[in-house]
Amino acid sequence: MRIVVGLDGSAASLPAHGLVSSVSWPGGTQFLFVHASEGATDWTAMIPGGAWFSDGQSSRSLNELAVLDELAQPLRQRGHPVEIRLEGGPAGQVLRDAAAEFVADLIVVGSRGRGPAASAFLGSVSADLVDHAPCPVLVARAPTVSKILLATDGSDNARAIPFILGRWRAFRGLPIEVLSVAPSPAASTELMVTPWMTPAVNPVPERQAGEQTARHHGFVEELSESLREAGWKATGHVRIGDPADEIVAEARAADCDLIVTGSRGMGDLRRLLTGSVAHDVLLHSRCSVLVMRGHVPARLEERAAVRSVGTALA
């Protein structure tokens, strides 16, 4: 695996560092720690023993590269190569470019937690990555994961999730709750290409809504079976209502600390007009969120192509 970790010196980025340090990644996993400089940063809040839980207020001025190097030590001690990099520019763009160049399988960032209203108007690094990153994005709100909620809409992206997690060999042994959210009769939609990734538009008859609910039970059983075959302990059920609301509610009820879902990667204007379940979950959930973008086989093929070019030029 190849993982890009965004660290900006704030308390909000601490969970990202803690999570990547706590997970048992496959042997040979490589990391790239990236700090995007958009302004002055106080790194003292991230130094072990140096005001970890402060807001970063300190009179000490430290070298960013030295601190990133210190943060990399837990992973290096476990045999993982860690590259560190400082870049100037908007954090979202910097991380996307770094992930593309690194041919990353995953980007991990913290969450600013500014609240839904502020994030809707001001945007956020995590929301930018969910829309535009070249690979899956993990927004960390806690340094550990003990139980996973996997939300499925029956799409090809959802069906690929067990394979992706299996390739990563991360989060092995954790219980997984599989959830699909069917529309209520009063708010069902006729657009069923990806059943929940579009908002309700036109009400449909109750009989048709019942048929859709049955389809969502099929999505849950299919994905649960795939996970069980891959060695996970998976259970699941269907909720009825608004997808994002029900996903967030189920994560809280089931005491899950990681939600895994998908993203259609819509452009900014279309997302503003139609909404996005992944964005709503990201804004309203209290736990970490992993948004799947792309497929592991595609990343492996791309990486193989990069290596072949390098070999040819050597």
The dihedrals phi and psi of 6, each to the nearest 5 degrees, come to -90, 120
Give the containing element (helix H, strand E) for 91: helix 91-102
Which residue stretches of 2-60 are H helix? 14-22
| pLDDT (tens digit per residue) in 118-146 | 344 335 788 889 888 999 999 999 999 99
Between CA 115 and CA 92 the distance in angstroms is 18
SS3 287: coil
Q: Which residues pair with 148 in a beta bridge?
A: 176, 258
Note the Cα 237 to chain centre separation in Å.
22
Buried b (16+ CB within 10 A) or exposed e, 206-219: eeebeebbeebeeb
- What DSSP character marks residue 143? S
Q: Which of 149, 169, 173, 174 is nearest to 252 (CA)?
A: 149
Q: Which alpha helices (H) appear in 143-205, and where do they start and end?
A: 156-168
Q: Name the pLDDT band for 210 (thresholds 50, 70, 90).
A: confident
- Which residue is it, tokens 């956020």? 124
Q: Shortest CA distance to 124 belongs to which of 155, 92, 102, 152?
A: 92
Q: What is the pLDDT of residue 204?
A: 53
**Is pLDDT at 226 greater than 50 in this prediction?**
yes
User: How far apart (Å, rounded) are the C-alpha atoms in residues 42 and 28?
Assistant: 32
Beta-carbon-side half-sphere exposure of residue 50 (alpha carbons within 13 Å)? 20
Q: How confident is the model at residue 205 (pLDDT cuts 50, 70, 90)?
A: low
Partners of residue 176 on adjacent β-strands:
148, 234
How many CB atoms are located within 10 Å of the residue 297 CB? 12
Query: Quick one: pLDDT at residue 54?
Result: 44
Q: How many percent of the chain have pLDDT more than 90?
A: 45
d(CA 300, CA 199): 34
**What is the pLDDT at residue 269?**
37
Which among 123, 162, 130, 124 has a CA at the least distance from the CA of 263?
A: 130
Question: How does pLDDT run across 146-188, given as a tens digit for each residue?
Answer: 999 999 988 888 888 888 888 888 898 899 999 999 987 765 4
How many residues are there in the chain?
Answer: 314
* 74/53 Cα distance (integer angstroms): 19
Residue 58 has pLDDT above 80, yes or no: no
Res. 88 pLDDT band, cuts 50 70 90: confident
pLDDT of 61 strictly over 50: no
Residue 296 has what pLDDT? 45
**How confident is the model at residue 53, as a pLDDT?**
42
Q: What number is the average pLDDT over the span 207-224?
A: 86
Residue pair 103/4 in contact by the 8 Å Cβ criterion: no
**21/57: higher pLDDT:** 21
Q: Is the pLDDT of residue 87 over 80?
A: yes
**pLDDT tens profile 98-113:** 999 999 999 999 986 5
Q: What angle do CA 179, 140, 293 make, to 5 degrees?
A: 60
The residue type at 74: P
Measured CA to CA, the distance from residue 42 to residue 200 in angstroms comes to 45
Q: What is the mean pLDDT of residues 43-72?
A: 59
